[in-house]
Amino acid sequence: MSATSTDPTGAESAGTGGNDTYGHKPFKRSRSHFPDRITADGRDGWPVEPGRYRLAVSRACPWASRALVSRRLLGLEDALSLAVADPIQDDRSWRFTLDPDGRDPVLGIRHLSEAYDARERDYPGGVSVPAIVDVPSGQLVTNDYQQITLDLATEWAALHRPGAPDLYPEPLRAEIDEVMEGIYRDINNGVYQCGFASSQQEYEEAYAALFARLDQVSARLADRRYLVGDTITEADIRLFTTLVRFDPVYHGHFKCNRNKLTEDPVLWAYARDLYQTPGFGDTVDFDHIKRHYYQVHTGINPTGIVPAGPDLSGWTTPHHREQLGGRPFGDGTPPGPVPEGERVTPPDAV
C-alpha cells in the first residue's frame, strides 16, 4: 500500500497494497519501483543479517499483512525489527505517529517517505508498504510486496526459529504459484478493481471475476484444509489477508456485495481456522483496517464516517476444520507469544 492524500487506497501510492494508480482511468496496480532483494548471498548488495533491516508496515494494508504473518510464523521478530505506521496518512506518506514524539524509534524518521528519499529523491512513484529499510544507512531496500514474503520464507532460512514451517516448499512451488496467480488477479487485486472501477462495465467485470474465483476457491477448500498440500503455505497467507478484510471493508466499501464472507460456510470456516492459528489473527488489527479504508478513501467515502459494524465476535468461534486433517505447521511448531509491543486489539474490543 502506498501513501498520498489523494490516493483512494492509502497504501500504495497513497493507497492500500502494492502500488496502485487511481482516478478516472481503469484501476491499475503498478510494479514495485525498488525490486532489490535481501538474499543469503547478498547478490543485490543486501545480504541477510540479523538486526540490520527494519520492516515498515501498516496493519491496515493486506500486502503488508502478508509480511506480518510470515515474520511471525517464521520467528523472525528478533532478526527483522518492525515499524508500524499510523493507519491514516498525511500528504507526506505513511507516518509514525504511533511512536513517541511521532518518530520511529529505530530509524528516527517521521514519515516513511524519508527512507524512500534517502534511496532516491523524487522518484516517480508512491510511498508503499510493506517496505524494508536498511537501518545503518536509513535507505529503503525494497518495496517489492510480491517478493518480500517469498524471500522471508527462503533466503532468510538461516534465521528462522526452530520449528518454523516451510511456507514455500520446493516440491509444491509450481502449484502454489499457479493458485496464487489466480487469487492475486481476481481476489487480492479484484476487490480493488471493484472498489475503484471508473465505469459500470469495468465494475461488473471485476465483480464477476472476483466471485467466480471465490466460488472456485470455496469448492477447492470444501474437502481440504489448506490450499496446497496439507500444511499452511504462502498461498493461504495471501488469501487470508483479503478474506479477513472482506466483511469489514470490501463487502460495503468496495461494493463486493454478492454475499458476505460469513455467508459462505466453507470460506468463513477456513478464514476462522487461519485467524485462530498463532501467527495470523494475532497480527490483525480491525480498528486500523476500518479507519484506514473509510477515512483515507475520500473519493469513495467523502464523509469519512467509519461504520460501527460488522459484528466481529464470530472470528473466535469454533470452525471444525480440523476434521479435514492437515498439519498447520507441518513437522514444525506454532510460533511463540506475540512480542511485547506488537500485540493488537482483539476483535471484540473494536
Bridge-partner residues for 128, per DSSP?
Answer: 2
User: CA 55, CA 48: separation in Å to the nearest integer?
Assistant: 13
Cell of 287: 480498528
* Exposure b/e, 229-267, CB count within 10 A at least 16 = b: bebbbbbbbbbbbbbbbbbbbbbbbbbbeeebbbebebb
Query: Residue 326: which residues within 8 A CB-CB, separation 6 or more?
Result: 224, 225, 226, 230, 231
Strand pairing category for 81-84 and 53-57: parallel
User: CA 329, CA 311: separation in Å to the nearest integer?
Assistant: 30
Cell of 301: 467515502
Cβ atoms of 274 and 193 within 8 Å: the answer is no
- DSSP, residue by residue, 176-218: HHHHHHHHIIIIITHHHHHHT-SSHHHHHHHHHHHHHHHHHHH
The C-alpha torsion from 27 through 31 and 33 to 36, rounded to 10°, is 150
Cβ atoms of 319 and 276 within 8 Å: the answer is yes
Query: What are the counts of helices (DSSP H) followed by strands (DSSP E) for the chain?
Result: 10, 8
| DSSP structural state of residue 95 | B
- Cα 308 to its chain centre, rounded Å, is 23
- Active-site positions read 61, 192
